Structure 1
Amino acid sequence: MILQANNQLTLHEFLNLPSGEGDITYELVDGQAIPKMSPKFFHAKLTRALLDLIQLLCEGRGEVFPEWAITLTRRGQDWVPTPDILYISYERLPAEWNEDAACPVPPDLVIEIISPGQTFGQMAAKAKDYLDAKVLRVWVVDSKARSITVFYSDAAPQTYMGDDLLTDSLFEGLEFTVEQLFQKAKIPLDKS
């Protein structure tokens, strides 16, 4: 279901829409309120594992949040994506900021976990949009491929799998393998 299919929503109109029925999250894309897919069990487990991992590394330097909308610009239009996880440093958003609103500035890191019905290609295009909007880093997590692809604003993307060691200059001391993440989240190997 798309809200306001025939008319373009402004950013103000989108941010002031009434809550949807049930537990529906919408993203503003090309002037339309597009429902975001509800996470499934493995998706939720990966989200928790990633939140735990990043929370330890960002303490005192920034905040990490699940499912927090961001006000950005995409191809010259207002865009309000709701990434699975975002990290924002206190350099970008001061610790004193305290409003019940969408994130007003591009975060340092956005993590998107591919859901059923989404493709890696769609997530790679969304990663480019995030980078164009001044997000510093985007991680795309693929639970089927058991991989994390890191998209950089100043370098080619890099995909990590298995025992590849993932480090990131955004987080001093960050060091884990993708397999360690999937084991922490207790995601079984896909036998198909």
Structure 2
Amino acid sequence: MVNTGTQLTLEEFLALPEGDVNYEFVDGQAVPKVSPKYFHSTLQAALLLLIRSWCKGKGRVGSEWAILLKRQGKDWAPVPDLTYISYERLPKSWKRNEACPAFPELVIEIISPDQTMKEFEEKAKDYLEAGVSRVWVVDPEGISIRVFFPDGSSQVYRDTTSIVDALLPGLELTTRQVFEEADLL
């Protein structure tokens, strides 16, 4: 069990044993992630399948994989629901059982019932300022995907409008496709 009130260094956080609860490293503390429910879990699985089939030979996608970043000048190790990083940024030869050491092209977060879009707007801003190129926030209740860009803008996708991004060449998904793959429509 992690005492979440204890100040830790990044090295101490990364040395914590794996357990049933996932933690993020924020402001020197191990902060527990929200326990996922069914919508969250099935959307995460659907996105993992869809993105993994697209990224073969291009990069890797992982779920619940910590990323080593800086937030407001401090070490930060968030654990997005999904992370995509190209082999250009993290070579295919990299095979280590540790946190992601490079800036991903994409992180995806899925809103749980007790979380708000406002919380994720702030987190998306932190991700982008830390060097992540794109942030997708999936809203199970709103049946939407909101894409955040480094310039501070964002776009909401619903139904059959394709999410296409030059940063992710060849990837074309719709919100409907994701929610149907998750068996939620």
TM-score (normalizing by structure 2): 0.94
CA distance, structure 2, for counterparts of residue 110 and residue 36 of structure 1: 16
Partner of 2:155: 158
Aligned partner (choices 60, 69, 87) of residue 90 of structure 1: 87
Aligned partner (choices 123, 144, 149) of residue 147 of structure 1: 144
Describe how 1:93-108 pairs up with structure 2 within 5 A.
93-108=90-105
Partner of 1:76: 73
Aligned partner (choices 56, 59, 62) of residue 62 of structure 1: 59
Q: Which amino acid aligns with 1:14?
A: F
Q: Secondary structure at the match of 1:112?
A: strand
Contact kept, 8 Å, 1:57 with 1:171, in 2: the verdict is: no
Gaps of 5+ in 2: none
Q: Secondary structure at the match of 2:45?
A: helix
Contact kept, 8 Å, 1:3 with 1:34, in 2: the verdict is: no
Partner of 1:112: 109
Q: Which amino acid aligns with 1:88?
A: I
Describe how 1:26-45 pairs up with structure 2 within 5 A.
26-45=23-42
Q: Secondary structure at the match of 1:83?
A: coil
Contact kept, 8 Å, 1:89 with 1:108, in 2: the verdict is: yes
Partner of 2:180: 183
Partner of 2:9: 10
Sequence identity percentage: 55
Contact kept, 8 Å, 2:125 with 2:152, in 1: the verdict is: no
Q: Does the C-alpha gap of structure 1 residues 13 and 147 become closer, same or farther in structure 2, counting only changes over 3 Å?
A: same
Please say which of residues 8-17 and 120-129 is displaced more in the overlay: 8-17
Q: Which amino acid aligns with 2:171?
A: L
Q: Which amino acid aligns with 2:10?
A: L
Q: Which amino acid aligns with 1:64?
A: V
CA distance, structure 2, for counterparts of residue 155 and residue 28 of structure 1: 24
Q: Count the aligned residue pairs.
A: 185
What's the Cα RMSD here? Answer: 1.6
Q: Which amino acid aligns with 1:157?
A: S
CA distance, structure 1, for counterparts of residue 110 and residue 4 of structure 2: 27
Q: Give 1:33 deviation, angstroms.
A: 0.5
Gaps of 5+ in 1: none
Partner of 1:48: 45
Q: Does the C-alpha gap of structure 1 residues 134 and 30 become closer, same or farther in structure 2, counting only changes over 3 Å?
A: same
Q: Give 1:4 deviation, angstroms.
A: 4.5
CA distance, structure 2, for counterparts of residue 134 and residue 167 of structure 1: 20
